[in-house]
Amino acid sequence: MDQQTALKKKAGEFAADLVESGMRVGLGTGSTAIWAVRRIGEKLKSGELTDIVAIPTSIRTTEEAESLGIPLASFDELKELDITIDGADEVDGRLNVIKGGGGALLREKIVAQITKRLVIIVDPSKQVNLLGETWAVPIEVVHFGWESQKHFLESLGATVEMRLGEDGEPFFTDGGNLILDANFGRIYNILALETKLQQRAGIVESGLFFEMASDLIVASPDGMQHIQGRIA
């Protein structure tokens, strides 16, 4: 296990220890969040955790949770979640986040918006002063007319690339949509950009998570840092 993977594991396991028996839990997607899912599964198996129920944010996470014996629920059963643990591609000092590197941004945001406490777990490489410094914003778009969304994003100043899968073909999300990775550079007004994106027909969702996270957990070689901000 290389150092970065080890740090992701520490962050995920630290966050998993915030889950208490009886909680309704959102399970994130990605190479950091998976460690939290696995730790929750271990604690359930040992009896350290009991009576929890979870909603996963992707098919991949669903399969992992089922293999670990984590009880799953539907949105019809749960109107609100106590805590969601998820990773991020970038996070700024105000806990605003870019997500979607794993392609699950739509489901991640649906889960996040019904969550009392959204815990973001990262290694130090994900921390930035302004969103957009090192990462493009994933934009999920419908297949029909996707080219027009590309032109629109370019009109806003972005350099845009369609995301491809490992096979070199267009990447499709769990919802059957495409992802355009839009590099805006440093984003000085997140809300203004997000508003423009949300008003555009054909754009399903963006990877901008504005004022949604309540906690940030950073695992570095020097130790763990837990920053608590907004709690709904």
Residues with catalytic annotation?
Answer: 108
Sheet with 208-209, strands from edge to edge, namely 90-91, 97-98, 208-209
Question: Residue 128 and residue 59: Cα distance in Å, rounded?
Answer: 29
Number of CB atoms found within 10 A of residue 17's CB: 13
Residue 136: C-alpha distances to residues 84, 163, 193, 203, 212 (Å):
24, 11, 13, 16, 19
- Between strands 90-91 and 97-98, the pairing is antiparallel
